[in-house]
Amino acid sequence: MGVAGCGKSTVASVVAQAEGMPLVEGDDFHGAANRDKMARGIALTDADRDAWLRTLEDRLRGADPAIVLTCSALKRAYRERLRQAAPGLRFVFIDIERDAALARAGSRTHFFSASLVDSQFATLESPVGEPGVLRIDAQWPLQQQQAAVSAWLHRADPD
């Protein structure tokens, strides 16, 4: 989880491969209206995110085998909804500085407009200190990020 440009899809892909888990790309579940808004640089509201979060909850509910899911989960309320759908759910918070996120978001081909990075930081409620959260630095080499996540996933106590 984290703001646009932090590396959610990249990190999730290598973690899913390393752990032999299916990867579910949360962005694939945004409806056309949400995609259009984001492409035009219009930030999503809580109401816009509701159906998307409901779909992700359904994907998580009873997920067997375990899955790796990418999701911005910027607000604690969003994370709580997902936790209710999947008790014991863990979040990897990929922490990144604004300028780095802006550079990354601006250099990729994606429906998300880089102009929304600031709104993502404004919306972000840091999950640091919440149960079942691992903070990693987006600037670490990808292999280091994956190793940290994999080691954490194998710990009995995620806190």
Q: Domains of the chain by range and CATH?
A: 8-153 (3.40.50.300)
pLDDT digit string (tens) for 74-95? 999 999 999 999 999 999 999 9
Apex 142 CA angle, 137 and 147, nearest 5: 85
pLDDT digit string (tens) for 118-136? 888 999 999 999 999 999 9
94 CB-near residues (< 8 Å, 6+ apart): 1, 2, 6, 7, 8, 11, 136, 137, 138, 145
The answer to whether the CB of 92 falls within 8 A of the CB of 130 is no
